[in-house]
């Protein structure tokens, strides 16, 4: 089954063609990051305008790279939410139009299901499975007893981990998006600044706003005392605490739910500390581990097409009254 996946929930316009949920044929991702960097974050109105401008071009380029025509596509998978409403609507209207024109099924895909299923493009998913979802908007542990069954074990009580990376980067004057910059600097520094491990309790929940405040306080404190902040060391200290906090809860969930496979999903799955940490943890526990290729960690159409295949197997097909949702529970 050949599915065209469309993703436009934030600042990437992307289309991809994937066969049977596992085999990528072609993917085009047009990022607006350079535009939004000028504002220190994504500006929703600007993002939706660019989606409108880019969507047709991205679709045509994807078909061209795949050496395919729309007649060869069996279904359209669309990321209907959560995300920025104006951005989502552009992808949704394109998806509905194509499904109507070519008389093929329209498959609704939750954006986080997409991030999870980016892993199906890397390795076969084995169940029961634990998904660690870490992105700019989410930090969640999700238990899956089988395909397309999602049970949330815990999540962040305040900031998402990617959001915290971006804010800490701003404090350190590193610009937007801060995640990749902090990750790079962390590899060059020593974890010499003491920072508290957030929400060091027995739940599967996370909390990052206290850690963010601790970094801000540390930076102000050093500034007042005229001591220069060593950015590399701050990045290394911050990343160490984030990884420790994530690993602690992940290990607890592995033990409690006797999972066979752990996957990492979302933009922050690109983080070297998290990738290596979870991989080592799974080796120690002698269970399967997978993480998407770097280009499939941030938002892309391939993950939507992959998830769409498994959603379709469960009979999930949308009518033309499908609407975009800025917020929606993964189920
Ligand atoms: O999944 P994503 O593309 O968008 C959302 O759905 O939120 O994730 C974007 C987030 C940003 O906060 C970005 O700073 C973070 O992922 N990120 C990273 C890394 N690469 C991207 N955070 C830490 N380390 C990285 N290497
Ligand atoms: Zn995302």
The helix (run of H) or strand (run of E) holding residue 87 is helix 85-102
Report d(CA 282, CA 238) in Å as an integer: 23
Find the 267 Cα to ligand 2 centroid distance in Å.
6
Check pLDDT > 90 for residue 175: no
Q: Tokens 């069954």 label which residue?
A: 149
Q: Dmax over Cα atoms in the chain, in whole Å?
A: 68
User: Looking at the predicted structure, is the pLDDT value of residue 177 above 90?
Assistant: no
314-325 pLDDT tens trace:
999 999 999 999
Mutate which of 179, 181, 212, 243 for ligand 1? The one with the most ligand atoms within 8 Å of its CB, which is 179
Q: Are 77 and 109 a contacting pair, CB within 8 Å?
A: yes
Q: How far apart are CA 12 and CA 50, in angstroms?
A: 9
The ligand whose atoms approach the alpha carbon of 272 most closely is: 1
8 Å CB contact between 77 and 316: no
Question: pLDDT digit string (tens) for 78-136?
Answer: 999 999 999 999 999 999 999 999 999 999 999 999 999 999 999 999 999 999 999 98
Give, using CA atoms, the residue closest to atom 18 of ligand 1.
179
CA–CA separation, 299 and 29 (whole Å): 8
pLDDT more than 90, % of the chain: 90
CA 206–ligand 2 middle distance (angstroms)? 19
Nearest ligand to residue 291 Cα: 1
> How far away, in angstroms, is 193 Cα from ligand 2 center?
31
Q: Which pLDDT does position 38 carry in this prediction? A: 82
Q: Is the CB of 135 under 6 A from ligand 1?
A: yes
Q: Which ligand is nearest to the CA of 111?
A: 2
> For ligand 1, atom 14, which residue shows the shortest CA distance?
179
Give the pLDDT confidence of 227-251 residue by residue, as tens digits. 999 999 999 999 999 999 999 999 9
- pLDDT score recorded for residue 42: 84
Give residue 36's pLDDT. 84
Residue 183 Cβ inside 6 Å of ligand 1? The answer reads yes
Q: Quote the CA–CA distance of 317 and 331 in Å, as a whole number.
A: 14
Across the chain, mean pLDDT equals 96
Residue 34: its pLDDT value, please? 83
Check: pTM over 0.85? Answer yes or no.
Answer: yes
């Amino acid at each position: 089954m050949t599915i065209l996946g469309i993703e436009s929930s934030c600042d990437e316009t992307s289309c991809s063609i994937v066969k049977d949920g596992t085999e990528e044929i072609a993917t085009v991702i047009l990022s607006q990051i350079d535009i939004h960097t000028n504002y220190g974050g994504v500006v929703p109105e600007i993002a939706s305008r660019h989606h409108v401008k880019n969507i047709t071009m991205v679709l045509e380029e994807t078909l061209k790279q795949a050496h395919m025509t729309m007649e060869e596509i069996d279904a359209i998978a669309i990321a209907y939410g959560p995300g920025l409403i104006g951005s989502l609507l552009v992808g949704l209207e394109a998806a509905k139009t194509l499904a109507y024109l070519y008389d093929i099924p329209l498959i609704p895909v939750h954006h986080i299901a997409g991030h999870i299923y980016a892993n199906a493009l890397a390795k076969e998913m084995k169940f029961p499975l634990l998904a660690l979802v870490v992105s700019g908007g989410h930090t969640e542990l999700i238990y899956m007893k089988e395909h397309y069954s999602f049970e949330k074990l815990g999540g962040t009580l305040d900031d998402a981990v990617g959001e915290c990376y971006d804010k800490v980067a701003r404090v350190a004057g590193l610009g937007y998006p801060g995640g990749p910059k902090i990750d790079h600097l962390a590899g060059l520094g020593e974890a010499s600044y003491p920072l508290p491990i957030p929400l060091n309790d027995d739940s599967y929940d996370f909390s990052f706003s206290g850690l963010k405040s601790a970094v801000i306080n540390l930076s102000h404190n050093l500034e007042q005392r005229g001591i220069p902040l060593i950015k590399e060391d701050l990045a290394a200290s911050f990343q160490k605490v984030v990884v420790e906090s994530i690993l602690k809860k992940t290990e607890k969930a592995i033990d409690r739910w006797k999972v066979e496979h752990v996957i990492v999903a979302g933009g922050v799955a690109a983080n070297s500390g998290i990738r290596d940490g979870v991989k080592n943890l799974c080796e120690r526990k002698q269970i399967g581990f997978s993480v998407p290729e770097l280009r499939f960690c941030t938002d892309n159409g391939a993950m939507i097409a992959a998830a769409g295949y498994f959603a379709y197997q469960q009979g999930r097909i949308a009518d033309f009254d499908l609407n975009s949702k800025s917020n929606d529970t993964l189920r």
